[in-house]
Chain A
Amino acid sequence: MSKANKQNTANVKYLGVGHWREKRGTVNWVSCAACGDWFHVEARLTVEAEAGRAHFQCPHCQHEFEFADARELVLVPSS
């Protein structure tokens, strides 16, 4: 399966946008494909990983994995 096709299988949740005065998060979080622990990633890395040009490395178990293999992603919509 190509990287582009794998993107569609990722368990992505987007934070709501809401009213401009509501606090809605500042950073993306990823749940590791291997151990399930959570860590946070910069928006630019998320974009690159989603496009298949970068991958994540879990700081807890060191496992390297692609965007589509993450157990879960909680993403902040860009403003």
Chain B
Amino acid sequence: MTGVRDLRSFLAECDASVWRPNGAFAVEHEITALQHASDRAGRYPVILIEQPQMPDGGISEIPVLCNMTASRALTAQMIGVDDHRLAGPELYQRISNPIPPVTVAGNDAPVQDLVFEGEACDLEKLPALKQHILDPGRYLTAAHATTYDPDTGIDNSAIQRCWIKGARKMSYYTVPSSHNARNMRKFWQNGEDCPIAFWIGHHPAVSVGSQGKMDYPESHWATAGAFLGEPLRLVASRTHGDKIMVPAEAEIVIEGWIPRDQIELDGPFGEFHGYTGPQTLAPYCNVTAITMRKDAIYHDYGSGLTDMIVPDNMMMEGKLFGMVRSVTPTISKIHVPVSGRRFHAYLQLTNPMGGEARDALAAVLAYRRLKMAIVVDDDIDIFDEREMNWALSTRVQWERDSFQLSGLSGSMIDPSLPSGARTVSKIGIDATLPQSEFPGAPKPTLPRLEVPKDATRKALSAISGANNSEWPEL
């Protein structure tokens, strides 16, 4: 089928942003090292490794795509948001206007071009990466685990890691609060194994849209369609039929069962917070089928790297924007910065009335992952950390302008938490300026330093024409 948006159409759309390093790169560490290097350089190309070198030294026929969503600007563009700074309000609208999926037959689903079932399955042939030094093996990191709620039949899809342990066995790690974990526990409580399918590789609009922060039980497919701008095409999985549907244009699908009450070792493994998470216990998946496109591309997310954080944080922005909107209409932009992982949010309000800055803070701090929220006025660029620091250093008296809340739910893998903690503490900071109280009068604060617009234009013109290659960067 032509005209459908998928991973290939994405690569064609952004060809100029794709880096194809020459030569072979090992799936163990070398590909992830490229992502670390690009992060450090502050440059975010999509990286396509055409010669992934497998642990046995051979070259995989399946290329590896990584860093797909490391660029915030490119990711926004690919989901139809022209200005990434407006991701919050735009995604809020998108989430509010879902487009239901459509079902296609297996022979119209490229992801079922090749079908391997039973003993023909071999996970170890996939060019999955061993990313970091303490990882115990090669992991799937962009596998969207799809299960369903046995009570309602409503499915759920989420990115969850899997350690390849053999040709037909891999770990399946999911935090207890996740919707997939809820589904799995329900099957187990019914005395049944949990059916599951993992899909890998699609257009970023689908990958990002599928990370919507949904209620339970609530399918992600319609949100993915809203991001795609058209109904997402789904096909019945080979093992589970229409109980578990998978995207027809995905690159690879792995199907199987999570055996009841069986848990094994998993990890250590890299986490979004930038540290290596500890070894733990996790269920595992017995694989029954692997399907893929004829010339499949394997997609990997760099754990704890910008690539992994950007799309999730943009989805958080959409969710948080709606939460603030419910208490004040003055919210204009929101930023969940990569530097704060998923713990910090910057809110920009336009002329908030008395108390509204704190209303906004109280609203977003209820969101599980957040630990700190800062509100600023619309003269502060919330996408510039220097501006945020300036606002904090010049507009805040800590006792007056901050408040702490304790005993709230939070991310239990926060590395600052003491062992055994079940709740976290959070802080809200009002870094707005006092509002003008009289019509026509300025804000009763110091005005920021400025030069006339004409002088600014002239200076920018002069700088753009200067040879600055030898100028110090610090």
Residues of A in contact (CB 8 Å), total: 20
A76→B437 CA distance, assembly (Å):
11
A30→B99 CA distance, assembly (Å):
56
Query: Cβ of A23 and Cβ of B432 under 8 Å apart?
Result: yes
Q: Is B385 among interface residues, defined by CB-CB distance under 8 A?
A: no
Provide a sorted-by-A list of 10 A–B residue pairs whose CB atoms are within 8 angstroms: A23-B401, A23-B432, A24-B444, A25-B434, A25-B443, A25-B444, A26-B434, A27-B444, A28-B444, A74-B442
Q: A15-B444, A28-B444, A74-B444 are in contact. Are A23 and B437 (CB under 8 A)?
A: no
The 7 A-B residue pairs with the shortest CB-CB distance, nearest first, are A25-B444, A23-B434, A74-B441, A25-B434, A38-B442, A26-B445, A13-B438
A65→B432 CA distance, assembly (Å):
33
Contact indicator per residue, chain B 428-458, by CB within 8 Å of chain A (1) or not (0): 0010111001100111111100000000000
Query: Cβ of A24 and Cβ of B441 under 8 Å apart?
Result: no
Give chain B nearest CB distance to A57 CB in angstroms: 17
Residues of B in contact (CB 8 Å), total: 16
Residues in A neighbouring B401, C-beta threshold 8 A: 21, 23
Residues of B at the A interface (CB closer than 8 Å) are 354, 400-401, 430, 432-434, 437-438, 441-447
Q: Is A72 among interface residues, defined by CB-CB distance under 8 A?
A: yes
Give chain A nearest CB distance to B358 CB in angstroms: 8
A26→B354 CA distance, assembly (Å):
16
CB-nearest residue of chain A to B434: A23
Query: Cβ of B441 and Cβ of A72 under 8 Å apart?
Result: yes
Give chain B nearest CB distance to A70 CB in angstroms: 12
Residues in A neighbouring B443, C-beta threshold 8 A: 25
Residues in A neighbouring B445, C-beta threshold 8 A: 25-27
Give chain A nearest CB distance to B69 CB in angstroms: 38
Query: Cβ of B437 and Cβ of A16 under 8 Å apart?
Result: yes
Residues in A neighbouring B430, C-beta threshold 8 A: 23
A72→B446 CA distance, assembly (Å):
17
Query: Cβ of B446 and Cβ of A27 under 8 Å apart?
Result: yes
Q: A20-B400, A22-B354, A23-B400 are in contact. Are A15 and B437 (CB under 8 A)?
A: yes
A7→B200 CA distance, assembly (Å):
76
CB-nearest residue of chain B to A72: B441
Q: Is A40 among interface residues, defined by CB-CB distance under 8 A?
A: yes
Residues in B neighbouring A29, C-beta threshold 8 A: 441-442, 444
Q: A20-B400, A21-B400 are in contact. Are A26 and B444 (CB under 8 A)?
A: yes
Query: Cβ of B444 and Cβ of A76 under 8 Å apart?
Result: yes
Give chain A nearest CB distance to B136 CB in angstroms: 51
Residues in B neighbouring A26, C-beta threshold 8 A: 434, 444-446
A15→B441 CA distance, assembly (Å):
11
A52→B445 CA distance, assembly (Å):
25
Give chain B nearest CB distance to A38 CB in angstroms: 5
Residues in B neighbouring A38, C-beta threshold 8 A: 441-442
Query: Cβ of A24 and Cβ of B434 under 8 Å apart?
Result: yes
Give chain A nearest CB distance to B145 CB in angstroms: 46
Contact indicator per residue, chain A 21-47, by CB within 8 Å of chain B (1) or not (0): 111111111010000001010000000
Give chain A nearest CB distance to B347 CB in angstroms: 16
A70→B443 CA distance, assembly (Å):
18
A26→B434 CA distance, assembly (Å):
9
Residues in B neighbouring A15, C-beta threshold 8 A: 434, 437, 444
A18→B400 CA distance, assembly (Å):
13
With A23-B400, A40-B446 given, can you name 20 additional A-B contacts, CB distance below 8 Å? Answer: A13-B438, A15-B437, A15-B444, A18-B354, A20-B400, A21-B400, A21-B401, A22-B354, A22-B434, A23-B430, A24-B434, A25-B443, A25-B444, A26-B444, A29-B444, A72-B441, A74-B438, A74-B441, A74-B444, A76-B444
A25→B395 CA distance, assembly (Å):
10
